[in-house]
A and B are shown apart, each in its own frame.
Chain A
Amino acid sequence: MTQIDHQQTSNNPGFAKAPTGIQGLDEITGGGLPRGRPTLVCGGAGCGKTLLAMEFLVRGATQFGEPGVFMSFEESATELTQNVRSLGFDLDDLVQKKMLAIDFVRVERNEIEETGEYDLEGLFVRLNFAIDSIGAKRVVLDTIETLFGGLSNVSILRGELRRLFRWLKDKGVTAVITGESGDGALTRHSLEEYVSDCVIVLDHRVTEQMSTRRLRIVKYRGTSHETNEYPFLIDADGISVLPVTSLGLQHTASTTRISSGIPRLDAMLGGDGYFRGSTVLMSGTAGSGKSSIAAHFVAAACQRGERCLYFAFEESPGQILRNMRSIGIDLEPWMQQGLLHFHASRAAIHGLEMHLATIHKLVRKFQPRVVVMDPVGSLTSVGTSQDANVMLTRLIDFLKMQGITAMLTSLTSGDAALEQTSTNVSMLVDTWLLLRDLELDGERNRVMYVLKSRGMAHSNQLREFLLTDQGVELQNVYLGAEGVLTGSARQTREATEKAARLLRHQEVEAKQRERVLKREAQEARIIALQKEFEAEEEVAKRDIDQEQSREETNRQDRDRMGISRQGDKVLKEAEPSARSHETPRSRK
């Protein structure tokens, strides 16, 4: 055992693995089962061992081109073929294509007498023959422990099984050996002692009438693996293990914003709505309008051409469509265009894991950008609230990894604290809208506020909203002595303000008129003054002209006098101005 621990700690990156092709199992095991080595799959009756083993072979043959041998100790080839047909596996076809060989080994104790020494060489011969006939790379031994029922010499059997597993390794085939778990031990006959490379335990538990299948990797030599229990389910597509292992906080955060479908709500969320890929929780009391706001979000997403998956746990699709039509949101066209898909189921019909698995499957299949779950709280009715919490954590992480924007609604019961959801998912969500009824003055009004919204400057305002024919409408904010005014109080306030506004308006108009009159009077005065000024200017101009002509005359007289006295040469040209005629005189 110490050797095992050593090998487990040293993780060899070059460890070859054979992918199983089983949904989720390869993710948990980090690539598949150890190639060329045996793997033990054990569990109680009806836990899905045979199916897991068979799917390993079928997927190997169909997806990875590796032929396989199924050595069955419990069911005949015909029975096996019939059993897995419902999962879409056509064994006859694979057998015909030489991709699968089935050998049914029947050991009946009452037909067998034992005397003296023997070995299981016959089994080796058969297995070897089957492997060589199709060149098998994969081998399944389905409950080889049945041999212990048919043959009584335990010491021989143990020795031979040890030799068989050694032989399988030497043969280089990837083997799956199933074993039934017994009292407290992994397998009744301690097969785990021989198959020490990889041990997978399947479990089928019933808690509160809900059955859940779980898978756990107990041991995987030479590789790091997840040790948690993972729920898995068996449905029409075979086994799918929930790959909760790939969770974590590695998702990238988008900075893209998407509209909530309600412009004024977008404004409250820093102007642009939710972050893409974020998780929005909407909690509120009964009838506070959660589904309506969710419907807005859905309609907005579809309008952008994004696919949207709506999980309804309380209402049928028809009911949702009808109800949303009453507030003016018609989702039916989006449904017809294939952008919107409803998945309605009562929370109580499955266990939590089954729900989670269904959601996983649908999300993978439909590839939505937006997922709505209405309401998540009803899932707590299925499991304990702790289980529901774990499941939602997984779900939210899963959706975040896919970059899907999720809207979860949650019902707050009347007596519980408002800022507490039944599932305690509040720490997981990015944006939390709280809807509540406000009882005031004998009426009930809907208000909402953004309790938190990571990474954006959101409004801290309590807003009243109405469900109208045109959908959800956020009302203007009126603050009163007790806080936000809602309903009639708001309307009264609105009426008062309207009256006041009217009065103010009238006053303003009166003032306006007065101003116009005043201006007209002023303008008249300005005109009068202007006229007066013009008249004065006219007079002044006339005086100046007269003065000028008088001066000219004077100068001419002086010049003539000068000429007559011959005291000066006659200037060729008459000086234009009085100033210039001084100049020739000073020159002289």
Chain B
Amino acid sequence: MKPLGREEPAGANAATPTWQLRLYIAGQTPKSIAAFANLTRLCEEHLPGRYSIEVIDLMLHPQLAAGDQIVAIPTLVRKLPEPLRRIVGDLSNTERTLVGLQLRSTPASREQGGIW
């Protein structure tokens, strides 16, 4: 919780634009670990001091899965700012993650499935 503004494109100079992120995992799997690592790196890079990450392990709290409509694991849910966004996967594709978090405007070519 260190409000520290850096050179950010959108609404960076606001006082407390806290990003509430929630990462759903199911046990300490390689994908979960990778996702968490990727997320923290990305936040540090783009949202330093303006984010909070809550990690929910569904193995321990299975009842929490339905609330956020979790199907895939890992899933990152952007609770704040609105609107709610979901990013599934281990967040290894930084570009796509940034788009998903709306930290970067949508690229012109967004062909779904073409990358896979």
* A residues in contact (CB < 8 Å) with B: 103, 105-107, 111-126, 128-129, 147, 150-155
Contact = CB atoms under 8 A, between A and B. Distances in A.
A116 B71 contact: no
Given A103-B66, A125-B65, A126-B70, A118 B58 contact: no
Contact of A115 (B69, B73, B96): B96
Interface string B61-101: 01101100111111100000000111111111110110110
Contacts, number: 108
B61 to A, nearest CB: 9
Given A122-B26, A122-B58, A125-B65, A147 B93 contact: no
A115 B71 contact: no
Given A114-B88, A115-B90, A120 B96 contact: no
Contact of B73 (A113, A116, A118, A129): A118
Nearest to B99: A113
Given A122-B24, A123-B71, A129 B87 contact: no
User: In the complex, which range does the number of interface residues on chain B fall in?
Assistant: 35 or more
Contacts of A152: 112-113, 116
A117 B90 CA distance: 5
A111 to B, nearest CB: 5
Contact of B87 (A114, A121, A122, A123): A114
A153 B113 CA distance: 7
Interface of B: 24, 26, 31, 34-35, 38, 58-59, 62-63, 65-66, 69-75, 84-94, 96-97, 99-100, 112-113, 116
Contacts of A116: 31, 34-35, 38, 89-93
B83 to A, nearest CB: 8
Contacts of B87: 112-115
Given A113-B85, A113-B96, 7 more contacts: A111-B86, A114-B87, A114-B89, A114-B96, A115-B91, A122-B70, A122-B75
A297 B44 CA distance: 92
A154 B115 CA distance: 12
Name which of B63, B72, B87 has the most chain A CB atoms within 10 A of its CB: B72
A79 to B, nearest CB: 16
B92 A115 contact: yes
Contacts of A114: 87-89, 96
